[in-house]
Amino acid sequence: MQRIAFTKIAEPAQALELVSADEPTPGPGEALVRMEAATINQTDFLYVAGQYFLAPTPGDTIGSEGVGRVTAVGPDTDTALVGQRVALLATYRHGTWSTHTVAAVTDLIAVPDDGDALQLAMLAINPMTAVRLLRDHGDPKNPHRWVGQTAANSAVGEYVVKLASHLGYRTLNIVRRAAAADDVRGWGADHVVVDGPDVDREVTEALGGDRLDVAVDSVGGPASAVLGSHLRYGGTLVTYAAQSGQSPVVSQADLIGNQASLTGFWLYNWWQRTPLTRVRDEYRELVGLVADGTLSARVDRTFTLTDWRDAVDAARTPSGAGKLLFTFPHN
C-alpha cells in the first residue's frame, strides 16, 4: 500500500512524503478500509504546518476525511462490515491520504454503493459544518428566517445555500468576485452581493427591511462587520474560519443595543462533545441528503497519491472552481 506520511512540522512540500508500506492489520473494534477518494482541505495543510488546533505526530498519515470500502475487520468486530462502503469521519484518529487505512468502526458511517464517490468523500466535514451552523444557531424553527454568510462560493457556502434552500430559509450571501456571485445564484441563493465600497447599502436593499437571524462567517474583518450590523435583535454571528486573517467583528453598539451575539464553531468540538449515538444519527441523515444530490459541492480536480506535489501546488493557488481530492485507482 502507499500513503502520504507526515515527517516534520513544516510547509507541506517539506513535511510530506509518499511512502510504501505493508497493509495495516485492524485490531479489535477496527476495520481496514480500501480508500476510493479523500478530500484535500486547507486545514490538512495547516495541520502539517503546525498551525491548526491539533498537532500531528511525525509518521502519521495525513488526510482527515474520505470514502472507501471495508476489506477486513479486527478480532471481536462485526464481520458484517466487510464489503460495506463507508465514509470516514474527521476524528483525526486515522489518515485518509492512503490506499488503505485502519479506522475505529465508530469512525465509519455506511454510505450507499451507488452514491458519487467524490461527494461522499467530502461528507464528514463541510456538509456537517453547514448543518450545524444552520441547526444549532439562531432560530432554526423559523421557516422564514434570513441566513447571512461570507465566502458564499466556498464549499461550506455552497452547502449552506443548498441546505437553507432545502429548509426554506432565505440567504443573503457575500462573495468577493462577480464571477463567484453567478455560481452562488445558480445554487438557489436569494441574494448575492459582491464585497466592495457599496456592500452595506446593497445588503440593506437586499434585505428590504428584514434582519438576519444568523450570519455565518469564514472571512472575518469588514465583511463580517457588515453582516453583524444587519442582525435582528438577539441575532448571532457565528465565526468558523478567518480566511482574511482578521478576527470577526460585531460592533459594541450591536452587542449592547441589539443584544447580538458573537460565537464560534469548530466541528471537532461538536463531534467530541456530542453523544456518539447522536453524532451517528446526524451523519446517517446527512448521508441521505448527499447521496440524493440535495447537498453537493463543486469539484475542481482529482489527483493520485503519486501526484501529491501537484495537489499541494494546486491547493496553494486555489482556482475558485471547487474542491481538490485524491482518488485511488486500485486496479
Ligand X SMILES: NC(=O)c1ccc[n+]([C@@H]2O[C@H](COP(=O)([O-])OP(=O)(O)OC[C@H]3O[C@@H](n4cnc5c(N)ncnc54)[C@H](OP(=O)(O)O)[C@@H]3O)[C@@H](O)[C@H]2O)c1
Q: Which residues bind ligand X (CB under 6 A)?
A: 41-43, 125-126, 129, 151, 153-156, 176-177, 180, 218-219, 240-241, 243-244, 265-267, 318, 320, 323
Compute the CA torsion angle 193, 194, 198, 202 (nearest 10 deg): -10
Query: For residues 110 and 194, which CB has a smaller minimum distance to ligand X in the complex?
Result: 194
The per-residue b/e assignment along 243-263, b for 16 or more CB within 10 angstroms, e otherwise, is bbeeebbbeeebeeebebbbe
- The residue assigned the cell 438557489 is 188
Q: In what order do the strands lie in the sheet with 146-149?
A: 191-194, 170-175, 146-149, 212-217, 231-239, 261-264
Beta carbon of residue 257, minimum distance to ligand X (angstroms, whole number): 28
Query: For residues 209 and 245, which CB has a smaller minimum distance to ligand X in the complex?
Result: 245
- Point out the residue whose Cβ comes nearest to ligand X: 154
Beta carbon of residue 278, minimum distance to ligand X (angstroms, whole number): 17
Neighbours of 71 (CB within 10 A): 16
Residues for the chain: how many in total?
A: 331
**Closest to 71 measured CA to CA, from 62, 59, 81, 61:** 81
The SS3 assignment for 239 reads: strand
**What is the rounded distance in angstroms from the CA atom of residue 241 to the CA atom of residue 246?**
10
- CB 119 within 8 Å of CB 296: yes
Query: For residues 167 and 242, which CB has a smaller minimum distance to ligand X in the complex?
Result: 242
Query: For residues 166 and 177, which CB has a smaller minimum distance to ligand X in the complex?
Result: 177
231 pairs with which residues across the strands? 212
Beta carbon of residue 91, minimum distance to ligand X (angstroms, whole number): 13
Beta carbon of residue 270, minimum distance to ligand X (angstroms, whole number): 8
- The residue assigned the cell 468558523 is 240
Query: For residues 2 and 91, which CB has a smaller minimum distance to ligand X in the complex?
Result: 91
Beta carbon of residue 210, minimum distance to ligand X (angstroms, whole number): 25
Beta carbon of residue 293, minimum distance to ligand X (angstroms, whole number): 19
Query: For residues 53 and 233, which CB has a smaller minimum distance to ligand X in the complex?
Result: 53
The SS3 assignment for 183 reads: helix
Query: For residues 33 and 133, which CB has a smaller minimum distance to ligand X in the complex?
Result: 133
Beta carbon of residue 154, minimum distance to ligand X (angstroms, whole number): 3
**What is the rounded distance in angstroms from the CA atom of residue 297 to the CA atom of residue 321?**
10
